[in-house]
């Protein structure tokens, strides 16, 4: 028996929605795709569903580790357009200055007020603090200013999920969400296409269970140890 060499199984937006139409009973398995107007409607529903998940704080963000090359005498760096923030650790450290050789230096995030209080903003040395400025774009303002171009800043950027409107796109979600979204879209499609009440309510109930499981899977997990203490 042959064994697959890849662990990747990802559906595009249109493939996921086609399965949703199948589950909703609105498309035969032998049919290649829903009608273009039905597919367009389903894409809109999926977009609204993803927006609702983000509003609820579910799959709101994706964190990617990345490296930013620093430039001599340059304090401010505009990050990629999809960046909404920089992930901080429990000590308020935004990232590490990585030199060409030698040890790394942690960089602590500071507020706008703290940055404004720095009297000599043009001081040149290895940066130790950074002001994360979030306007129409997200920028990093380092202090002191990098003295040369031999260092880089290693950090984790937080960005919004990719646009899922194009049918050929892959939803920017963990794969464990695929079944939940498939059934969530199935009952919404069934309602929109005037399926019998019993049909779409049963699909909705199934979808709620799958969505609940997917949301629980988004919770951070850690080792739990229980100890019994006796008194007296």
| The predicted structure's pLDDT at residue 33 | 87
pLDDT at 163 over 90: no
Cα 70 from Cα 127, distance rounded (Å): 10
Q: What is the pLDDT of residues 83-92, one digit of tens each?
A: 888 999 989 9
Taking residues 141-164, report their average pLDDT: 88
Cis peptide before 144 (omega within 30 of 0): yes
Distances from the Cα of 117 to the Cαs of 98, 122, 149, in angstroms? 26, 13, 26
Q: What is the pLDDT of residues 210-232, one digit of tens each?
A: 999 888 865 544 444 554 555 45
pLDDT-derived band at 110, boundaries 50, 70, 90: very high
Asked whether 127 and 106 are in contact (CB, 8 A), the reply is no
Q: What is the pLDDT of residues 56-102, one digit of tens each?
A: 766 555 788 999 999 999 999 999 988 888 999 989 999 999 998 88
Total count of residues recorded for the chain: 232
Distances from the Cα of 128 to the Cαs of 118, 123, 141, 177, in angstroms? 13, 12, 11, 39
């Amino acid at each position: 028996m042959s064994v697959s060499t890849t662990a990747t199984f990802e559906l595009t937006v249109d493939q996921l929605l086609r399965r949703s139409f199948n589950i909703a009973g609105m498309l035969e398995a032998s049919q290649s795709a829903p009608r273009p107007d039905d597919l367009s409607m389903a894409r809109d529903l999926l977009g609204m569903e993803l927006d609702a998940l983000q509003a609820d704080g579910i799959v709101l963000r994706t964190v990617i580790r990345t490296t930013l090359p620093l430039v001599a005498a340059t304090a401010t760096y505009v990050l990629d357009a999809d960046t909404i923030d920089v992930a901080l650790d429990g000590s308020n450290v935004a990232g590490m200055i990585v030199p060409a050789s030698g040890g790394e230096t942690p960089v602590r995030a500071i507020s706008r007020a703290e940055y404004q209080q720095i009297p000599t903003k043009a001081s040149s040395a290895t940066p130790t603090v950074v002001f994360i400025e979030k306007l129409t774009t997200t920028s990093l303002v380092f202090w002191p200013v990098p003295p040369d171009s031999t260092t880089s800043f290693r950090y984790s950027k937080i960005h919004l999920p990719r646009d899922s409107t194009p049918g050929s796109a892959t939803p920017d979600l963990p794969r464990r969400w695929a079944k939940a979204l498939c059934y969530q879209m199935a009952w919404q499609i069934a309602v929109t296409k005037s399926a019998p009440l019993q049909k779409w309510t049963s699909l909705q109930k199934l979808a709620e269970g799958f969505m609940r499981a997917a949301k629980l899977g988004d919770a951070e997990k850690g080792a739990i140890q229980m100890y019994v203490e006796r008194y007296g």
